[in-house]
Chain A
Amino acid sequence: MADVTDQAARPPAEPLSHRLASIRAARPDVGADTIEEIVRAVLTTMTGDLTAKETSLLTEVEELGRTIANAKSEIAALNVDEITGSHIPFATDELDAIVAHTASATNAILESCEMLDTAAELVTDAAAAKLQDATTRIYEACSFQDITGQRITKVVTTLKSIESKVAQIVATFGGRNPDLPLVMSAPQMAEDELLNGPQLPAHAMDQSDIDKLLASFD
């Protein structure tokens, strides 16, 4: 009964789902189908009387097979093609439409402001100053269109990244849809890392922070 003693002294087994994840992380080139094939091959060779160790191994291998089969059926149930083929393109189209509409509205506002600036030349100096002050505030506020446009572009990029990652998971576990792009992990150029667009207010430096930083170079 040496096998039983060995088993009792062993640390608790890592859950199979964790082991599977580790294997996938270490060997992303090995697909789920390959693992499943190996599991089946091992099972078919295990005949006759089994030792305690072999029984334990058999149990784990069976569980591994079930984990893979469950993962495959869960992914199939997600209707991934609908997410990548319909939901994400719809969301990105909607976001593009928001950018187009806000650009159009902003240009209409700017056109009206320019008319007010022209009209300011026809009124008294005091009235002209008031008009100019108002149009200046409007011009400043209209820069929202640039900022929101950049933020929406970041969201669209994120959605496209999710789309690629989902496609990659499907390719590994559930059979790849050949129409979907795989994630490309090409190294980024140095300046690309500097192009992040607007930061969220909690993480952004304001103009006074930037002025202090610039002054530190002098």
Chain B
Amino acid sequence: MAIDKSMNILIVDDYKTMLRIIRNLLKQIEFNNVEEASDGSDALIKLRAGNFGLVISDWNMAPMTGLQLLQEVRADTRLKATPFIMITAESKTENVVAAKQAGVSNYIVKPFNAETLRDKIEKVLGHG
């Protein structure tokens, strides 16, 4: 079964430039239904109001971090199964362990390339 490229994807980052880069890279791999959020709390509001097949989030944001967003998503009955990819510059072992323990689906370290993004999306959507 092919990946449903019409699915809604929520990208979360407090750097507008980064949102623009990820949106363009997603567009190049034919994901065109992309919404943006500027931090964890903004993302949570959009997730609860919408229907998203994937969340791609930065970690280091305020007031709600990407890790806190992940914990909220996994604690929410309706959202808990949503695939969640963390894209972050935080590359220490304890960060990866904390994210995994919170239920992250995959973890991409910045700077990343388009191939890594495509590969991780395919993996979390069950086609890797």
Contact = CB atoms under 8 A, between A and B. Distances in A.
Interface string B8-19: 000001010110
Interface string A110-133: 100110010000000000000010
B28 interface: yes
A117 B96 CA distance: 34
A213 B28 contact: no
Contacts of A146: 13, 15, 17-18, 89, 110-111
Contacts of A135: 24, 28
A136 to B, nearest CB: 5
Nearest to A205: B91
Contact of A207 (B27, B65, B116): B116
Interface residues of A, number: 35
Given A136-B25, A214-B100, A145 B90 contact: no
A49 interface: no
Interface in B80-128: 89-98, 100, 106-114, 116
Interface size classification for chain B: 35 or more
Interface stretch (A4-12, A168-176, A179-187, A188-196): A188-196
A132 to B, nearest CB: 6
Given A117-B24, A149-B15, A195 B90 contact: yes
B21 interface: yes
Given A113-B24, A194-B92, A143 B116 contact: no
Nearest to B20: A110
Contacts of B15: 145-146, 149
A73 interface: no
A142 B17 contact: yes
B10 to A, nearest CB: 18
B40 to A, nearest CB: 12
A31 B105 CA distance: 54
A205 B109 CA distance: 9
A207 B17 contact: no
B60 interface: yes
Interface in A76-119: 103, 106-107, 110, 113-114, 117
**Which 5 residue pairs across A and B have the least CB separation, nearest first?**
A198-B89, A143-B111, A205-B91, A146-B18, A136-B114
Interface of A: 103, 106-107, 110, 113-114, 117, 132, 135-136, 139-140, 142-147, 149-150, 191, 194-199, 204-207, 210, 213-214, 217
Interface of B: 13, 15, 17-18, 20-21, 24-25, 27-28, 59-60, 65, 67-68, 89-98, 100, 106-114, 116
